[in-house]
Amino acid sequence: MKTYVLASLLFLAAPAALLAQTTKVPARTTPPKPTVAKPAAPKAVAPNPEQVQARAEALTTNMQKALGLNPQQLEKVRQINLISVRGVESARQTYRQDVRKMASVVEDIGQSRLAMLKEALTPAQFDKYQRKREEKMGVPNAPAAQGTPVPGLPGGQE
C-alpha cells in the first residue's frame, strides 16, 4: 500500500515539479546587432556584351563548319545563338544564389533554342546537329537496361 501511495504521489507531483523549474536568462549588456535585410528578388545584372558576342560567334562558326549553313541560315543561327547566350549569361548572374532556379531557366532557354534551330535548319542538318550534341553531352544512343533484375530470374527477364 505504501508503494502504491508513493508511486501515485510521484506520478502526480512530477509534472508540477517539471513546470516549476525555470532557468534564469542573463540580461543583455550589449544591444542586439542589426540584421541586414536581403533583397527579396535577385538583382539582374547585364552580362558582358563582348563576352556574349564572342561566345555566340564561336558557336555560330562551329555550326557553320559542321553543318554547312547557307547565308540565310547563318544569319538566323547567329541571332538564335546570340539570344540564347545572352539569356544564359543573364540567368547565371541573376540566379547565382539559386542554382535550381538557374538550372530551370537555362534548361528552358536550351529548349527554346532547339525549337528555333529546328525551324532554321533543314531536317538533315538538324539531325546531324542533334547527333553531335548528344555525343558531346554523353547521351547514350541505345536504351540501357535500368535497375536490378528480378530476384530468381536471369538478368533482363521478368
Kindly report, residue by residue over 57-67, the tens digit of the pLDDT: 999 999 999 99
- Give the Cα separation of 123 and 149 in Å (integer): 39
Residue 115 is predicted with a pLDDT of: 95
Which residue is associated with the grid cell 547563318?
A: 74
> Could you tell me the residue ranges of all domains in the chain?
49-137
Query: What are the cell numbers at 110?
Result: 536550351
Start-end of H helices in the chain: 2-20, 49-67, 71-94, 99-120, 123-137
- Per-residue pLDDT reduced to its tens digit, 24-72: 655 666 555 555 544 444 455 566 888 899 999 999 999 999 999 999 9
Sequence-ordered list of residues with C-beta below 8 angstroms from that of 80, at least 6 positions apart, any chain = 113, 116, 117, 120
Mean pLDDT of 126-136: 90
